[in-house]
């Protein structure tokens, strides 16, 4: 246990990655009185543009890591695909949260699922595919000795996912037959993959926890999520947004996963809610998460302040949600909603005329379809009011109702 890194002096908190999550981390750290440093190769990165220091270099650049270590009192990461080796290098010199081992597990779906199982948290049936032989075992017809159970028959229909570097639905393919599986693995470049059985879903949810080096654990309220094309579209957070027993089960599971990693920092665990009422874990993200952005406006402690507190060794207080909230993810498609070839600014003036509207744009200069440009949180006194206002905002922006 290191002494807390107190705000208000000359302390510098660093972050690997300069995207929107890094930008919101920087804002939270600066509000609390810290200086900040960002390591990101993009000279125009959203976080780099608002930080006190921006080191424009590759994440494994030895000189850049030396400079970051020399500047900072502690370092975190804003995305899971940062090289774990960079975190390990920095951890030899200063506090790093989360640690390289935890991030490395989150970077590999097979290791991630094995960790879930070890923690006693159920996940969908799956199989690893790393070799031609592993694929052959899954596509082989059922044997006579094991009628109906041979090969991977029990995993179809399924989703083939690359073990590494997949996000927002990328690196995935739905497969209904062994032949489709073989073709999909070929298209994905024969890289290590996981075949996961598709289950009948009633919905999706997530839980964000923060864990300190002392083992203290707090959590945000469970969040009910809607995804479209593999990308989060909307998050709704209010009391009774799912059955209480299911909410408690999700929180307990997320805490078990964090404790099993001896995690330090903010961790998001995503779950599938099944039609039969069961809950299975989908994946985890070793960082703040899109589904937790509402906490900036609807909770007394946001996920980004929790990230700052955890890495600085400050006390973790249980966040309290003061307003029901609906969060809409704002993709670059909205800039093309009018049908023209050139992007056009959405009607923010009309959106901001709505009560309880909180607009967050990420400082990205160019709008592109599918690119995360910002989010909009709608808060209100009741869940019904927040949802009604969110639907009005969606109509103004050309977002499909939910």
Q: Where are the domains of the chain?
A: 12-96, 125-197, 201-397
- pLDDT for position 337: 86
By C-alpha distance, which of 271, 312, 262, 316 is closest to 289?
271
Check whether 142 has a pLDDT greater than 80. Answer: no
Q: Are 323 and 384 in contact (CB under 8 A)?
A: no
E-only strand ranges, 41-119: 53-55, 74-77
User: Percentage of the chain surpassing pLDDT 70?
Assistant: 95
Cα 291 to Cα 303, 370, 383: the distances in Å are: 10, 17, 17
Distance CA 192, CA 179 (A): 18
Contact 381, 345 (CB under 8 A): no
353-381, pLDDT tens digit by residue?
999 999 999 999 999 999 999 999 999 99
Q: Residues with Cβ < 8 Å from 245, sequence gap 6 or more? A: none
pLDDT tens for each residue of 281-337: 999 999 999 999 999 999 999 999 999 999 999 999 999 999 999 999 999 999 998
143-162 confidence digits (pLDDT tens): 533 333 345 668 999 999 99
Between the alpha carbon of residue 240 and those of residues 222, 224, 226, 301, the distances in Å are 10, 10, 17, 21
Rounded to an integer, the average pLDDT of 187-216 is: 96
What is the three-class DSSP state of 208?
Answer: strand
Which DSSP letter does residue 142 get?
P
pLDDT digits over 18-62, tens only? 999 999 999 999 999 999 999 999 999 999 999 999 999 999 999
pTM value is 0.94
Rg, the chain, Cα only? 22
Joined together, the tokens standing for residue 376 give 């909009």
Residue-level pLDDT at 139: 82
Rounded Cα–Cα distance for residues 132 and 251 (Å): 39
> What pLDDT is recorded for position 218?
98
Instruction: State phi, psi for 292 to the nearest 5 degrees.
Output: -100, 5
Tokens 């650049």: give the residue: 61
Fold of 201-397: D-amino Acid Aminotransferase; Chain A, domain 1 (3.30.470)
pLDDT band of residue 171 (cuts 50, 70, 90) is confident
The burial of 146, by beta-carbon neighbours within 10 Å (0-12 exposed, 13-18 middle, 19 or more buried), is given as: exposed
- The pLDDT of residue 169: 65
Name the one residue in this structure whose structure tokens are 């927040």: 386
Average pLDDT, whole number, for the chain? Answer: 94
Strand 74-77 versus strand 12-16 pairing type = parallel
Query: b or e along 166-176 (b: 16 or more beta carbons within 10 Å of the residue's beta carbon)?
Result: beeeebbbebe
Predicted confidence at residue 1, as pLDDT, reads 57
Architecture of domain 12-96: 3-Layer(aba) Sandwich (3.40)
CA pseudo-torsion sign 259, 260, 262, 263:
negative
Domain 125-197's class?
Answer: alpha beta
The reported pLDDT for the residue numbered 141 is 67
Q: Looking at the predicted structure, is the pLDDT value of residue 7 above 60?
A: yes
Cα-Cα end-to-end distance for the chain? 46
* Six token digits for residue 283: 């994946």
**Of 218, 222, 253, 209, residue with least CA distance to 119:** 253
Do 201-397 and 125-197 fall under one CATH topology? no
């Amino acid at each position: 246990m290191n002494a807390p890194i107190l705000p208000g002096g000359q302390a510098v908190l660093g972050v690997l990655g300069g995207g929107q999550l890094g930008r919101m981390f920087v804002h939270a750290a600066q509000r609390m009185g810290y200086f900040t440093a960002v390591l990101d190769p993009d000279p125009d990165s959203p976080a780099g543009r608002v930080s006190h220091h921006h080191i424009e270099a590759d994440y494994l650049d030895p000189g850049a890591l030396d400079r970051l270590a020399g500047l900072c009192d502690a370092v975190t990461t804003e995305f899971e695909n940062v090289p774990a080796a960079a975190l390990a290098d920095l951890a030899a010199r200063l506090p790093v949260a989360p640690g390289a081992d935890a991030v490395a597990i989150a970077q590999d779906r097979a290791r991630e699922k094995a960790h879930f199982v070890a923690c006693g948290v159920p996940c969908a049936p799956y199989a690893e595919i790393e070799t031609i032989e592993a694929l052959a075992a899954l596509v082989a017809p059922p044997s006579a000795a094991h009628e109906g159970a041979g090969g991977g028959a029990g995993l179809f229909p399924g989703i083939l996912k690359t073990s590494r570097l997949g996000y927002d639905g990328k690196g995935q393919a739905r497969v209904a037959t062994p032949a489709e599986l073989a073709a999909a693995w070929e298209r994905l470049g024969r890289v290590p993959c996981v075949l996961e059985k598709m289950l009948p879903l009633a919905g999706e949810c997530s839980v964000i926890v923060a864990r300190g080096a002392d083992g203290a654990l707090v959590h945000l309220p469970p969040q009910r999520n809607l995804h479209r094309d593999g990308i989060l579209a909307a998050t709704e957070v209010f009391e009774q947004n799912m059955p209480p027993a299911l909410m408690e089960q999700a929180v307990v599971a997320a805490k078990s996963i964090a404790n099993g990693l001896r995690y330090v920092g903010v961790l998001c665990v995503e779950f599938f809610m099944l039609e039969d009422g069961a809950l299975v874990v989908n994946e985890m993200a070793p960082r703040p998460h899109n589904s937790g952005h509402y906490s900036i406006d609807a909770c007394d402690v946001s996920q980004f302040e929790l990230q700052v507190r955890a890495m600085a060794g400050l006390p973790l207080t249980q966040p309290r949600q003061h307003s029901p909230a609906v969060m809409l993810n704002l993709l670059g498609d909205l800039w093309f909603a009018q049908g023209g070839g050139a992007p056009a600014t959405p009607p923010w003036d009309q959106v901001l005329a709505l009560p309880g509207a909180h607009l967050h744009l990420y400082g990205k200069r160019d709008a592109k379809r599918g690119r995360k440009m910002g989010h909009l949180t709608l808060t209100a006194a009741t869940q019904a009011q927040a949802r009604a206002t969110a639907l009005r905002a969606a109509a103004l922006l050309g977002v499909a109702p939910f």
